[in-house]
Structure 1
Amino acid sequence: MRILIVHNILWAHYKSSVFQALQRLIDLRPDSTLMVLQIARNERSRAGLEANQADAPTYTYPYELLFDRYLEEVGLQERSSALLNRARAFRPDVLLLTGYYDPAQLLLLLWAKATGVRVVMQNESTAADHQRGGWKEQLKRWILSRCDGFFCFGSQSATYLIQLGIAPHKILLRKNSVDNTALRTAYLQARQHRSAQQHSLGIRTRNFVFVGRLIAVKNLKALLNAFADAQAQAEHAADWGLILLGDGPEKSALLEQAATRGSSDAVHFLPGRPWYQVPDVLAISDVLVLPSLSEPWGLVVNEAMACGLPVIVSNRCGCAPDLVRHGENGFVFDPDQPDELTRHLLSFMNGTVDADQLGQSALAHIAPYAPEAVAQDMLDGFIKLTT
């Protein structure tokens, strides 16, 4: 079995850990071969998050980087030509495409159907992450009907495909993962210096943390308001702070809002950093908060849970029904009901929930969402389609 995977950017470390795990499984099958075509090195919006240190984790799996530049700089014609030429040369039995939004990959889909190659389409979209309807949905239905199987980012992503007419048996994967082991190892190492780091940065002894871009869809203004409201009510407000880790166009407005609400001394902004350094900040934090208005999945929830942190997650995040067990490893809230978020923040600040127990439950629940488990499901799916 010859497996060809088309992927957008080499930077996507969470996929690299899965591809490496998949290659290890392929190594046990002398009749199988894997190749990953990475279209570009990175996207412009993620340029500052690239690994640039010697201690960054590396992954080994067979791949070819088609264009050593940003994805936005790769034209449709050259992308289409490169993908088609490499696919013809590799002669796959099964082809995994990144998504249905790239015309170059749709051309590859048509080539595969004409030559008898089985096609798996990856889907991370959900019905809730954008307004749906019109001719685009009809075109999407037509494209998806040409595919033989699907790898989905969780149950909400799978449900969306079923709503578009896909038979449930064609959905071969319903998980998403990060490198749990690398993240946990880095977290435990950084945790040894927690108090010293907190003192050095001038932050509180207990902290909520947000990790991501500072953009409107992340709903950070609501988070700042909820935190300020919780401070006004909490018995131990002086012990708790809020860390916003990331960069983006909303930063100035958020700084001003924190000052207006009187939270400046408790809210700390830290610049974005490569993924393998995020555990350094999780180690000085206690609870992850992801308040997004729209989020296809939310990999930062995987990252936090792999480090043993409880989570507070908006129900608009695709990962919420799969990863968060309300009251067991964290809490899910409705972003249209901001008082819910305030109440959950208060439950930690007042100690009415056992944060340590929630964190241990988070660590246990994330174990099946590891690269090895996702890779096994992928391989099982490929085998199902080609035998």
Structure 2
Amino acid sequence: MLSNENLQTKCNRMKAVFLIIDYVPHQENTIKKLIEKTDCEVLAFHAALFDKSIPEIKKFETYQYNQFTKEDILKKIKKFQPDFIVTAGWMIKEFIWVCKQITKDGKIPVVAQSDTPWYGKITQKINSAISPFHLSKAFTHLWVAGYQQYEYARKLGFANNKILMNSLSADVRHFSKVNIENKKLEYPRNLLYIGRFSEEKGIKILLNAWEEIKDKKSWKLVFVGKGDLKSEIDKCNDVVIKDYMNQKDLLLEMQNSGAFVLSSISESWGLVLHEAASAGLPIICTDVCGASPHFVINNYNGYKVKPDTTLLKNAIEKLISKTDEELMNFSYNSRILGNSITQDTSIANLLQVIS
């Protein structure tokens, strides 16, 4: 085991490779935080499947992977001489091939991020069966988001000491800027939803639940996002629709909201739950959300229910009937849970592979 002093010395000259799908905010923030904490150099290859934007980060170099053969990517990585590699799951077959070559050499850790819970589906059972001949040969470690993802990692055959936690974290410092105390003056009656307006997000369940509530106690349901079901939302009463917004405006939206709702019928993780908890919002969510065990405790800071119209309606009615004092207590408790995982703990977990 390296001492703290020796670990810091190693970190100061460290190099890391990231194999990325797209530079979504949490992935960009992970790389920024790693560089901030360790002053390391990062080489990355990204697939740009859905988003071609590239972040501007010091000591960071990235390439679109399909501009190279897999053999050329491997040569670039070996020339770079990283201390470890992190890959965003196992969706890109070229990334898996590269990881297998590096793992075969046995010189450095190769870490795969995973936000997929164990569902017991036939495809997952097949993955578990072939993992010793496939994933276990590509990755030395799995870096999982939480408890439910840890279970899948164990099913895939990774030992306890080869599973790292907290691979996903909201920008806690940013969302903690929401001032809970200011809500004492007049608690806002806005129930906030942020995300795609799509089937898997349970939008229809949420709309039906909202419509069935006769006395909404002056609350409004605020949707922030876009998607195919926007026309369905337009038909609903006491609803406000807003487009996707930047982080600064989103912070203001959370400041003006009294609670958060996520009605998904399918959600591997749901980083927005972490953001809402960090912002100190009471939360109602469905129990299929992978992040829900970490950021929502029934009757402590909100409610978890199955993705069912009646159950969601009952949870919303229960929450909007609470006094301002009870809602404030839920808010404080949400922030406590939101602070349980941070970008610092995320990077600290990752750095265990070189300690």
Question: Which TM-score band (shorter chain)?
Answer: 0.7 to 0.9
**What amino acid is the match of 1:289?**
V
How far did residue 105 of structure 1 move?
A: 0.7
Q: Tell me if structure 2 keeps the 8 A contact 1:208–1:285.
A: yes
1:13 has 2:36 as partner: no
Match of 1:212 among 195, 199, 204: 195
Q: CA separation of 1:144/1:299 partners in 2, compared to 1, >3 Å: closer, same or farther?
A: same
Alignment partner, residue 120 of structure 1: 111
Q: Which residue of 2 aligns with 1:80?
A: 70
Deviations 1:20-68 (A, max 9, x none): 33223324xxxxx44141415x553x68xx79xxxxxx8745321213x
Structure 1: gaps (5+ residues): 28-32, 52-57, 68-73, 196-203
Q: How far off its partner does 1:130 sit?
A: 6.6
CA RMSD of aligned residues (A): 2.9
3-state SS of 2:354 partner: helix
Tell me the equivalent position of 1:37: 44
Contact 2:103 2:140 in 1 (8 A): no
Question: What letter corresponds to residue 105 of structure 1 in structure 2?
Answer: F
Residue 172, structure 1, aligned to residue 169, structure 2? no
Contact 1:15 1:178 in 2 (8 A): no
CA contact (8 A) 1:129 1:295 kept: no
The one-letter code matched in structure 2 to 1:166 is F
Displacement of 1:268 in angstroms is: 1.1
> Do the aligned residues in 2 keep the contact of 1:129 with 1:316 (CA within 8 Å)?
no
Correspondence list, 1:10-159, <5 A: 11-27=23-39, 33-39=40-46, 43-44=49-50, 60-67=57-64, 75=66, 78=68, 80-81=70-71, 83-116=73-106, 117-128=108-119, 132-133=123-124, 135=126, 138-140=129-131, 142-146=133-137, 147-159=139-151
Match of 2:112, as an amino acid? M
Contact between 2:115 and 2:144, CA under 8 Å: does it hold in 1?
Answer: yes
Give the SS at the match of 1:348: helix
The structure showing larger relative contact order (alpha-carbon pairs under 8 Å, at least 6 residues apart) is 1
Deviation at 1:188, TM superposition (A): 4.3
Question: SS of the counterpart of 1:288?
Answer: strand
Contact 1:151–1:171 (CA<8 Å) still a contact in 2? yes
Q: Is the 8 A contact 1:100 1:140 kept in 2?
A: no
Residue 161 of structure 1, CA deviation: 1.4
Q: Residues 5 and 312 from structure 1, CA distance in 2 versus in 1: closer, same or farther, beyond 3 angstroms?
A: farther
AA aligned to 1:298 is G
Instruction: Note closer, same or farther for the CA distance 1:238–1:25 as it changes in structure 2 (3 Å cut).
Output: closer
3-state SS of 1:354 partner: helix
Map 1:226-265; keep pairs closer than 5 Å: 226-230=209-213, 232=214, 234=215, 237-256=216-235, 258=236, 263=237
SS in 2 for 1:132: helix
Give the Cα separation in 2 of the matches to 1:222 and 1:111. Answer: 47
Q: Report Cα offsets for 1:54-92 as digits up to 9, x if no partner.
A: xxxx8745321213xxxxxx64x7363553232021112
| Matching residue's letter, 2:61 | E
Q: 1:100 to 1:359 in 2, by over 3 A?
A: same
The correspondence of residues 177-216 of structure 1 with structure 2, limited to 5 A, is 177-185=169-177, 187-188=178-179, 206-216=189-199
Aligned to 1:30: none
Letter aligned with residue 20 of structure 1: K
Q: Unaligned 5+ residue runs, structure 2?
A: 1-9
